[in-house]
Amino acid sequence: MRFIFYIIFSFFIIKLNAQVYTYQNATKFHYEIVTNENDSINKRIYQAAYDYKKFDEVRFLDSRRNINISGYNAYLILYSANELLERYGKQISPFTILPDSTFPEVELLFTENKFPEFLIMKLN
């Protein structure tokens, strides 16, 4: 019930004419989605992000990361690994991108299948 209330409530949050959706797992926020798309697209993007399990592979250790959602006026703000450790005690994944390491620029490719999903698309 709490989750349903949160989903309904999150559709009404407005920030600079963009709707902001925040992933919640037992009150643990891991990212935000900022979008100017219509409600139908927003729901599909939100569900795909909620179902995506590989964000640690593109997460920075010390800073948040903005990741564009390809083909849409939307992006995801991915919280840093240290931020999640400090807030929730979440262990740092071995896939986390460390400072001074090379990393590719990425976008999320949103597939509009029957079950929408995200794929990581490396830009360089």
For the chain, the average pLDDT equals 78
Neighbours of 80 (CB within 10 A): 18
Specify burial of residue 46 (Cβ count, 10 A radius: 0-12, 13-18, 19+): buried
Residue 4 has pLDDT above 60, yes or no: no
| Alpha carbons 16 and 115: distance in angstroms, whole number | 30
Which carries the bigger pLDDT value, residue 96 or residue 117? Answer: 96
Q: How confident is the model at residue 16 (pLDDT cuts 50, 70, 90)?
A: very low
Q: How confident is the model at residue 7 (pLDDT cuts 50, 70, 90)?
A: very low
| Alpha carbons 105 and 103: distance in angstroms, whole number | 7
Neighbours of 108 (CB within 10 A): 26
pLDDT in tens, 17-71: 344 444 445 557 899 999 999 998 898 888 888 888 889 999 999 999 999 998 8
Confidence at residue 116, expressed as pLDDT on a 0 to 100 scale: 65
Confidence at residue 3, expressed as pLDDT on a 0 to 100 scale: 46
Work out the percent of the chain whose per-residue pLDDT is above 70. 74
Global pTM value: 0.73
Of residues 52, 80, 85, 81, the one with CA closest to residue 66: 80
Work out the percent of the chain whose per-residue pLDDT is above 90. 34
Neighbours of 89 (CB within 10 A): 8
